[in-house]
Amino acid sequence: MEVELQSPGGLQRVLRVSVPAERYDEAVDKRLRQIGTRARVPGFRPGKAPLKVIRQQYGDQARADAISELVRETWPQAVQEADVNPAGQPSFEVDDESEGQALVYNATFEVYPEITLSDLDKVAVERPVADVTDEDVDRLVQNLRQSKRRLETVSRAAQEGDSVRIDFEGRIDGETFTGGSGENQEVEIGAGRFLPDLEQGLIGHPAGETFDVPVQFPEDYQAEDLRGKAATFSVTMKEVNEIHLPEIDEEFLKAHGVDADAGEEGLRQKCRDALQREQTKASRNKLKGAVMDQLLELHSFDVPQAMLDDEIQRLRQETAARFNAAQLSAEQLQQMIPDELLQPQAQRRVSLGLLLGELIKQHEIELDQQRLDSTIDELSAEYEDPEQVKQYYRSNQQAIQGIRAMVIEEQVVDHILGHATVSDKTVPLQELLNDRQAG
């Protein structure tokens, strides 16, 4: 068998494989004999037709089957002889299949890029850190009380701190605009979840009243076409509710896993501990993201299109699952979530995957079994029956592979940080946690 490797450009390779005529003819004859054992040919008993007759009637089918079998058999050997590492499945094209001649086919594929790792000492990142303040604890305790709040409908006019239900329609220069209307919207006055002018404009109006509220959109409003513009909202007040928060009593403490003897201080300590864990996790995630960004900035290389296509498909399926759209056909998903929308994220994922793989190989980073076990323990501790969850992870190959990948990725990040310049930057806790949620 002869093998010739061609490089048209970039990561694309063409492997031209020539299978000797004798092997090709033998494969065709073998298929003809197999067909002949079951072929029904007029004038002959089943399986008794001469090979010449079988060749006349079934020659094309025998050649097609033989070619398919030979390509399947010779492709791995050809790859080994050419010393290449295909990224994705090749496309095959038969160049010569003439009887009595060598079978020649071309396999077109991409290879993995050659990555020259940059000096890790060039990595310089900021680690955001935040102190958990009494105000942060107050806010979390208040949120816990808000989650158990009770609403009481009142006949008075709305005031700061009330929860109201409204219909509204906004206009700019007399024209309605996208996203400017709503029905039965609940608004907590003063919570800052709606436009400030709109929230404040609700004060002083009882249920049943319809009124106009002038609103000035902020200059940094998320919708660019509305930034800085003046609008008028027609509002119908449908219901005014007074908010009653629960007392931090024995029942409330018990509902949040705090012993009654620990009292409110015990609840606050539990909240402080939870916020500290969230701070640590968010800081680590931000630092990890900064490391990944730096890796991408320091390295430039082509990415195999086949890997990008596979990643785009995975991202599309993930997105469909999040929006309960998995029942849609592939064509419908393609229209709803086009490749262009997923391309940047796919490019990032594939590039980072290749970079991390090269780091693991060149720096000989091996999975830390103790760290893997600790991670499984941490993940399992969040469930009612940790031992059952641990058993599930260890018996489910797909689940354990995901955790293994996560752990070794963390090890790679730690390895990079061991060489990088890391400086701490103090930020408010709310800013750090909000950045994590936005990401």
Residue 39 DSSP class: -
Q: Domain for residue 252, yes or no?
A: no
Q: Do 286 and 427 reside in the same domain of the chain?
A: yes
Using CB atoms within 10 Å of the CB of residue 173, give its burial: 0 to 12 exposed, 13 to 18 middle, 19+ buried.
exposed
Q: Do 75 and 194 reside in the same domain of the chain?
A: no
Reduced to 3 states, what is the DSSP secondary structure of residue 329?
A: coil
Question: Comparing 46 with 242, which gets the higher pLDDT?
Answer: 242
- Asked if 198 and 169 count as a contact pair (C-beta separation under 8 A), the reply is no
Count of structural domains within the chain: 3
Q: How far is CA 40 from CA 59, 61, 63, in A?
A: 15, 15, 19
318-330: average pLDDT: 82
Torsion of CA 404, 407, 413, 415, to 10 degrees: -90
Q: Do 14 and 59 reside in the same domain of the chain?
A: yes
Tokens representing 31? 């298929």
CA pair distance 434, 437, nearest whole angstrom = 5
Q: What is the pLDDT of residue 438?
A: 46
Q: Do 238 and 281 reside in the same domain of the chain?
A: no
Using CB atoms within 10 Å of the CB of residue 24, give its burial: 0 to 12 exposed, 13 to 18 middle, 19+ buried.
buried
Using CB atoms within 10 Å of the CB of residue 379, give its burial: 0 to 12 exposed, 13 to 18 middle, 19+ buried.
middle
Write down the pTM of the prediction: 0.75
pLDDT at 437 over 60: no
Q: What is the pLDDT of residue 160?
A: 95
Q: Do 97 and 202 reside in the same domain of the chain?
A: no
- Asked if 242 and 155 count as a contact pair (C-beta separation under 8 A), the reply is no
287-293: average pLDDT: 95
Q: Domain for residue 43, yes or no?
A: yes
Residue 80 Cα to chain centre, angstroms: 34
Q: What is the pLDDT of residue 239?
A: 97
Q: What is the pLDDT of residue 262?
A: 94
One-letter amino acid for residue 88 of the chain: G
Q: Do 338 and 424 reside in the same domain of the chain?
A: yes
pLDDT one-digit tens code per residue, 176-234: 998 899 999 999 999 888 999 999 999 999 999 999 999 999 999 988 899 999 999 99
pLDDT one-digit tens code per residue, 24-41: 999 998 988 888 777 777
Domain end position, chosen among 110, 135, 166 = 110
pLDDT one-digit tens code per residue, 54-70: 787 788 888 899 999 99
1-17: average pLDDT: 94
Tokens representing 192? 């800052």
Q: Do 281 and 332 reside in the same domain of the chain?
A: yes
Mean per-residue pLDDT of the chain: 92
| Residue 169 phi, psi (nearest 5) | -145, 125
Q: Domain for residue 403, yes or no?
A: yes
pLDDT at 133 over 80: yes
Q: Do 316 and 428 reside in the same domain of the chain?
A: yes
pLDDT one-digit tens code per residue, 275-287: 999 999 999 999 9
Q: Domain for residue 124, yes or no?
A: no
Reduced to 3 states, what is the DSSP secondary structure of residue 240?
A: strand
CA pair distance 217, 194, nearest whole angstrom = 11
Q: Do 378 and 428 reside in the same domain of the chain?
A: yes
Per-residue confidence at 436, pLDDT binned at 50, 70, 90? low
Share of the chain above pLDDT 90, in %: 76
CA pair distance 193, 54, nearest whole angstrom = 80
Give the number of other CB atoms < 10 A from CB of residue 1.
Answer: 15
131-151: average pLDDT: 95
268-295: average pLDDT: 95
Q: How far is CA 173 from CA 118, 195, 220, 354, in A?
A: 56, 19, 20, 53
Q: Domain for residue 263, yes or no?
A: no
Q: Domain for residue 120, yes or no?
A: no
Which of the residue ranges 53-57, 129-133, 259-263, 359-363 would you say has the lowest mean pLDDT?
53-57
Q: Do 287 and 429 reside in the same domain of the chain?
A: yes
Check which CATH number belongs to the domain holding 362 and give it: 1.10.3120.10
Tell me whether strands 163-172 and 175-188 are parallel, antiparallel or unpaired. Answer: antiparallel
Contacts of 304 by beta carbon, 8 Å cutoff, 6+ apart: 11, 87, 88, 110, 111, 112, 113, 350
pLDDT at 439 over 60: no
Q: Do 240 and 193 reside in the same domain of the chain?
A: yes
Residue 242 DSSP class: E
pLDDT one-digit tens code per residue, 229-252: 999 999 999 999 999 999 999 999
Question: Comparing 175 with 50, which gets the higher pLDDT?
Answer: 175
Q: Please, what is the Cα angle at 294 between 289 and 296, to 5 degrees? A: 100
Question: For residue 180, what are the domain limits?
Answer: 150-244
pLDDT one-digit tens code per residue, 346-404: 999 999 999 999 999 999 999 999 999 999 998 898 888 889 999 998 888 888 999 99
Q: What is the pLDDT of residue 206?
A: 97
pLDDT at 419 over 60: yes
Check which CATH number belongs to the domain holding 31 and give it: 3.30.70.1050
